[in-house]
Structure 1
Amino acid sequence: MSTSTLGKTLDRETIGRLFEGSRTTNTFTDEPVDPALIQKVYEDLRWAPTAFNSQPLRLTILTDGDARDAVVEHMMDANQAKTKAAPLTIVAAWTADWHEHMPTLQPQREGARERFAEAEGMRKGVGEQSALIQVGYLITALRAHGLEVGPMTGLKASAFDEILHAENGWKTLVVINVGHAANPDDEDAVRPRAGRLEFSEASQIL
């Protein structure tokens, strides 16, 4: 980011698109989502901060096919049909082996990979927490690229990992269905807006 852009506020239309103006989407139009667009999304979200610059988020991109069909069976009944119908599904996971990339992520910290290798409990805590933070960045970045999203939990993570992550050891956190627009023929594609807490209810200034 250049110094000329620092400190400038986004316009309200853009901020609204990322937050208040966007909703969880349950069903989408049939327009496909090119996985190359998800790569562009990742190339933006990766610049956001994580603890120790650990960058533990890992993504498995599922289009219509055997892999998605296999994991859908391990989701809540209410989430199965809409996941099968989504143009694209992202399985967001985390890895405890983020320290292996320390020579790239923090080259100034000599010996960091070896020190973190001996702190398994800490690596797991940092990995899961920072990946969850990155999931928030992911949702925002998907919206910034013009996509609609339907994040979901309600799944058997161990079954997802057995099917998708047996070779790399990643740990599933959340599933995000992705499309270009909500299905105009489905009245439940986007449900009525639920309430939100006011600043005074969720904050304290000391």
Structure 2
Amino acid sequence: MRAISIVTGGAYPWGAKNVDTDVIIPAHWLKTISRAGLGRGAFETVRAQPGNIFDDPLYAGSPILIAGDNFGCGSSREHAAWALTEIGISVVIAPSFSDIFSGNAIKNGIVPVVLPQAAIDRLIEVAATDPITVDLGTMTVTTPFQDRFAFALDPFRRQCLIEGLDEIGLTLARDAAIARYETLAAAAMPWLAVQPAAA
């Protein structure tokens, strides 16, 4: 997982409410366990509509998505986070998130920023013409117009994002301690290390 500290760039000023994971990545894209290629299915039904925001050259490649209440509701599919990362989204800003989506987002290097609707409205206005900055160091979202919105995030999850650590990374970071424990356990309980006889 890539480390995230500061994200500055364009933002999709979408603002849609109750966006479920089937809208983020439709079910027929779930026949794979690979993340590769899921970006092609991201927001497929929205992109089928002429003049949609995701195919607008003005916002192409934006690392931030501004959405409405209850983003990521519906199923628990991790593919939704995978699809977002493949199209380059590192931050989703919304008034609220589904708990499961929020967890999946963080585990896949996406920052879920919760802000009140008034802040969302202002950021949608700014994103039409200017970049937005999300800073995990200061826990703020700022604009070139001196807007400054503070947000909260669980300290452990914040640190995981800053250091780029998912569950595997967290385990590997404790590799030396695990190896020490295994050595001590093998000496104290040698019967646990007995290998089964070959057939």
Q: TM-score scaled by structure 2?
A: 0.23
Q: Which has the higher contact order (CA 8 A, sep 6+)?
A: 1
- Decide which structure has the larger Cα Rg and report it: 2
What is the TM-score of this pair, normalised by structure 1? 0.22
